[in-house]
């Protein structure tokens, strides 16, 4: 499974890139707003850190506006910039046009298997089911991921599933067990994935025992 970081903070992105595990980045307007930076400057810097899909979201609500924004963003890095298109009828129209122009898309704010099916049929490169936000309203978010994996498998749909709105390490384990293509993970959850108390205890014990080895 590919691992993306869900962040627009270049310090976090550089740090995780140095771990050797990072395949891409997802941003959204809320994440960019948190950085306090101008969006084009921020996204351009991210493209220089990570050589993989980097999602940036359009804000237009009509297909023509989305396509125009997408074409502008694609100039920043034609290979890696991926356009986040919100799930809607206008969004589907934009995905179809952008697929014809070889501009990568990530249909975002997906909350049902039907939305995922339609986005794939329209030609989306990626779709992002938001599992945490479903959990927040008492639906099992990961359930729709299982459904989408099965539906895409049934029909050989090649759109990649990005498990998004990840809130904890168990979301990532479930995503990998279910065969999702990607998880996009916040920095704090990535750090939680590394940690295990028995690892810390083991490191300390080996260090302490090393001190007991007679030295020449
Ligand atoms: C995905 O691409 C989104 O940026 C993100 O996962 C949303 O997560 P949130 O529900 O924690 O805002």
Instruction: Per residue of the chain (216 residues), give pLDDT as tens.
Output: 999 999 999 999 999 999 999 999 999 999 999 999 999 999 999 999 999 999 999 999 999 999 999 999 999 999 999 999 999 999 999 999 999 999 999 999 999 999 999 999 999 999 999 999 999 999 999 999 999 999 999 999 999 999 999 999 999 999 999 999 999 999 999 999 999 999 999 999 999 999 999 998
Of 53, 164, 186, 190, the residue with max ligand 1 atoms within 8 A of its CB, to mutate for a pocket test, comes to 164
Say if ligand 1 is within 6 A of residue 133 CB.
Answer: yes
Distance CA 57, CA 106 (A): 9
169 Cβ partners below 8 Å, 6+ apart?
A: 189, 192, 193
If you measure from the C-alpha of residue 125 to the centroid of ligand 1, how many angstroms do you get, rounded to a whole number? 18
Q: Which two tokens stand for residue 72?
A: 């502008």
Distance CA 189, CA 121 (A): 32
Distance CA 161, CA 205 (A): 41
The residues facing 82 across adjacent strands are 55, 104
Distance CA 27, CA 46 (A): 10
What pTM does this model have?
0.96
Angle at 191 between CA 189 and CA 40, to 5 degrees: 70
59 Cβ partners below 8 Å, 6+ apart?
A: 29, 69
């Amino acid at each position: 499974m590919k691992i993306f970081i869900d962040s627009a903070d270049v310090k976090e992105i550089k740090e995780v890139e140095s771990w050797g595990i990072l395949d891409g980045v997802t941003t959204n307007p809320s994440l960019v707003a948190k950085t306090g930076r101008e969006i084009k400057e921020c996204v351009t810097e991210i493209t220089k850190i990570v050589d993989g899909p980097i999602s940036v979201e359009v804000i237009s609500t009509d297909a023509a506006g989305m396509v125009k924004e997408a074409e502008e963003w694609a100039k920043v890095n034609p290979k890696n910039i991926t356009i986040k298109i919100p799930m809607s009828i206008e969004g589907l129209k934009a995905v179809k046009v952008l697929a014809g122009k070889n501009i990568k898309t990530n249909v975002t704010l997906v909350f049902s298997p039907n939305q995922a099916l339609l986005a794939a049929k329209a030609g989306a490169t990626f779709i992002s089911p938001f599992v945490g936000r479903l959990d927040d309203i008492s639906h099992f978010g990961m359930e729709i991921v299982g459904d989408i994996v099965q539906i895409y498998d049934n029909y050989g749909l090649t759109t990649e599933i990005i498990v998004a709105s990840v809130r904890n390490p168990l979301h990532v384990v479930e995503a990998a067990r279910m065969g999702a293509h990607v998880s996009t993970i916040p920095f704090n959850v990535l750090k939680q994935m590394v940690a295990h108390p028995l690892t810390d205890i083991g490191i300390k014990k080996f260090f302490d025992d090393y001190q007991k080895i007679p030295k020449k």
